[in-house]
Chain A
């Protein structure tokens, strides 16, 4: 157990639907990062939050959004889902902005049918 908790572990949904992925960072970590890993793209950085504020954006689609709450947990919202959004979504946390070493969760496997 890495200390980063992601729920749900698996999610199957239909095209056009909206889902929310949840991440609880490791205790004491203020930064949360979201990554997407699909078969043909590898690990892609989506977005980072630090202590409730958005800090950096990567290759995140406009249909996707995220937020970090006062208790530091984060949610990634994916809407108008397409077949190509099927992927593993990982959350990572670190102490500082970037810090020395991320701790990743075990991921949420999203399947869009």
Chain B
């Protein structure tokens, strides 16, 4: 259903590192369009944590990092904190749909 594919869930213990993947196709991520990442704590609006594949907005801890290669992108969170528990969404642009597109979201559980 979603143009960008994310794993439904990931988990990690405090202090560990987790990685969330986002896979697209030749009309979006594979066409060179940037990937952006959002954190959404339940009951709140999404918050931008990574833009243009690997850039952090002001105020986002450097524990958050992003990368992109080919049709796939990844969000890594190192040194997990309990407050990192949230849903994470990737977003890009699809030239075939002429639309901004999102992944289905990944629920991060901090054990």
Q: Are A and B physically bound partners?
A: no
Residue ranges of A at the interface with B (Cβ–Cβ < 8 Å): none
Residue ranges of B at the interface with A (Cβ–Cβ < 8 Å): none
